[in-house]
Amino acid sequence: MTYIKARFLPVLLGTFVLFLNQGCSKNNTFIDEPTPRETTNTTCDNGFAGVYPCNDYDLLAHITLEELKGGVEGNDCWGWTDSVSGKEYALMCTTTGVSFVDISNPIDPVLVGTLPTATTNSSWRDVKVYSDHAFVVSEASGHGMQVFDLTRLRDVTSAPETFTDDAHYTQFGNAHNIVINEDSGFAYAVGTSTYNGGPHFVNIQDPKNPMSAGGYSADSYSHDAQVVTYNGPDTDYTGSEILIGSNENEVVIVDVTDKNNPVNISKVSYSNIGFTHQGWFTENQKYFILGDEIDEVNYNTRTRTIVFDFSDLDNPSYHMQHLGPTNAIDHNVYVKGDILYQANYTAGVRMIDISNIETNAMTEIGFFDTYPENNNTAFHGAWNVYPFFESGNLIISDIDRGLFILRKSGS
């Protein structure tokens, strides 16, 4: 998320008046802020789950920032499933640290504990998981990368516990985001002060002993990325470790198989760039689906999702765009099966059917709106969605309201 970065201040001043609507519903009538757990286990009925607009997704539980002991704002989230107990956990980032929530009973989640920030509070914190360990970075000055052994959550007898990290990597200070390729055991910190803001490689195969593995600086600042062991249609790169970087004004494709010699494969751009923010492969790795965070602000467009054809990594091409029903700003997107899950700030999380993406068709099939006040072009509401639990439960991290647990209606 970039909403108080200095480079966006002129844009944000223009949208300041949109923030004044907070406290109003979609039809501009005043609504009360829901009390904690007031809407727990609420089905989506006639377009609402309690006060929250919805379509085909039910609210199982809502945990406020106060309950999460999480400071004044939420930001990123991720998930972990304990392979021993089968329990699912939400890892919820906030201004003050990371909250670990047992959601194995999704209508009665339990805060197990928190990992405080390594240095100072920050509106940007990001977490990913590899080999039963959480890896946490932040824009907080001097933060580095915290490593936390998630199996410790099994042994908590008096929740919530305040944890300390198990390892602390300090070869960079602040970072905007962290990406992990679980197949290779490498982490990629992006938006650091190293490698010109490009990806900083860390070997995490021994999670409690992270080791610097170089970096890539040729394409400048990388805001976010996805790294995969490639198995897509371009057989020239089968088995290679490929990084797709969302780099402010373009998408770059880099072969990072040889950490000592990363190679730029290609890059691709598009019209009406605001801020090339984040994207995700379709499961067949043929298409890359991108969100631009500022185009709705700069060009007064409806939520725009851009799709590239990556059949030939040396020659990526624009494929299509999808316009959502509102002018809300899109943030993070992930693909599971034929559904794109899009955290969409004031419009909540949107579920989009991409089964016909080959023929330029994407269709919204559901949503859950964690910010019922409005759908304005503003930086409130849903920051992230994690759709990868085997149970089918979804978690949403909301800037203003904390953690939401959802499930598709009737499932």
Task: Answer whether 112's CB lies under 8 Å from 98's CB.
Answer: no
CA 352 to CA 217: how far, in whole Å? 34
Question: How high is the pLDDT of residue 10?
Answer: 34
Please list, in sequence order, all residues whose beta carbon lies within 8 angstroms of the beta carbon of residue 6, skipping any fewer than 6 positions away: none
Question: How high is the pLDDT of residue 397?
Answer: 98
Average pLDDT over residues 348-371: 98
Among residues 3, 9, 31, the alpha carbon closest in space to that of 293 is found at 3
Question: How high is the pLDDT of residue 237?
Answer: 98
Residue 92: C-alpha distances to residues 89, 157, 172, 348 (Å) = 9, 21, 23, 17
Dihedral of alpha carbons 229, 281, 99, 211, sign: positive
CA 184 to CA 393: how far, in whole Å? 27
CA 155 to CA 199: how far, in whole Å? 35
Question: How high is the pLDDT of residue 24?
Answer: 38
Report the Cα–Cα distance between both ends of the chain, in Å, rounded.
32
Average pLDDT over residues 152-168: 97
Average pLDDT, the chain: 92
pLDDT of 391 over the 80 cut? yes
CA 384 to CA 299: how far, in whole Å? 23
Question: How high is the pLDDT of residue 5?
Answer: 39
Question: How high is the pLDDT of residue 64?
Answer: 97
Average pLDDT over residues 166-179: 98
- CB burial of residue 36 (10 Å; 0-12, 13-18, 19+): middle
Taking residue 259's Cβ as centre, other Cβ atoms within 10 Å add up to 17
CA 380 to CA 64: how far, in whole Å? 15
CA atoms within 13 A on the CB side of 137: 27
Question: How high is the pLDDT of residue 26?
Answer: 41
CA atoms within 13 A on the CB side of 307: 22
CA 210 to CA 106: how far, in whole Å? 33
Question: How high is the pLDDT of residue 18?
Answer: 35
Question: How high is the pLDDT of residue 219?
Answer: 92
Average pLDDT over residues 113-128: 98
Dihedral of alpha carbons 67, 70, 73, 79, sign: negative
pLDDT of 36 over the 80 cut? no
Average pLDDT over residues 72-98: 98
Q: Which two tokens stand for residue 175?
A: 């970072």
Band of pLDDT at residue 40, cut at 50, 70 and 90:
low
Residue 325: C-alpha distances to residues 76, 160, 214, 234, 305 (Å) = 24, 40, 43, 34, 12
Residue 104 phi, psi dihedral angles, 5° rounding: -65, -30
Task: Answer whether 331's CB lies under 8 Å from 293's CB.
Answer: yes
Average pLDDT over residues 267-281: 97
Taking the domains of the chain in order of start, what are their residue ranges?
6-74+176-408
Looking at per-residue pLDDT, the higher value among 260 and 10 belongs to: 260
CA 8 to CA 59: how far, in whole Å? 34
pLDDT of 37 over the 80 cut? no
Does domain 6-74+176-408 sit in CATH 2.40.128.630?
Answer: yes
**Is 331 in a helix, a strand, or coil?**
coil
Band of pLDDT at residue 121, cut at 50, 70 and 90:
very high
**Is 8 in a helix, a strand, or coil?**
helix
pLDDT of 300 over the 90 cut? yes
Task: Answer whether 41's CB lies under 8 Å from 59's CB.
Answer: yes
Residue whose entry in the numeric block shows the structure tokens 């010699």: 261
**For the chain, how big is the Rg over CA atoms in Å?**
20
Band of pLDDT at residue 19, cut at 50, 70 and 90:
very low
Question: How high is the pLDDT of residue 109?
Answer: 97
Looking at per-residue pLDDT, the higher value among 137 and 38 belongs to: 137
pLDDT of 269 over the 70 cut? yes
DSSP 8-state assignment for residue 111: E
Band of pLDDT at residue 41, cut at 50, 70 and 90:
confident
CA 89 to CA 150: how far, in whole Å? 9
Among residues 263, 261, 221, the alpha carbon closest in space to that of 245 is found at 221
Band of pLDDT at residue 1, cut at 50, 70 and 90:
low
What string of H, E and C letters represents the secondary structure of 142-155? CCCEEEEEHHHHHH
pLDDT of 22 over the 90 cut? no
Count of residues in the chain: 411
Question: How high is the pLDDT of residue 220?
Answer: 82
Question: How high is the pLDDT of residue 70?
Answer: 87
pLDDT of 35 over the 80 cut? no
What string of H, E and C letters represents the secondary structure of 208-270? CCCEEEEECCCCCCCCEEEEEECCCCCHHHCCCEEEEEECECCEEEEECCCCCCCEEEEEECC
Average pLDDT over residues 140-154: 98
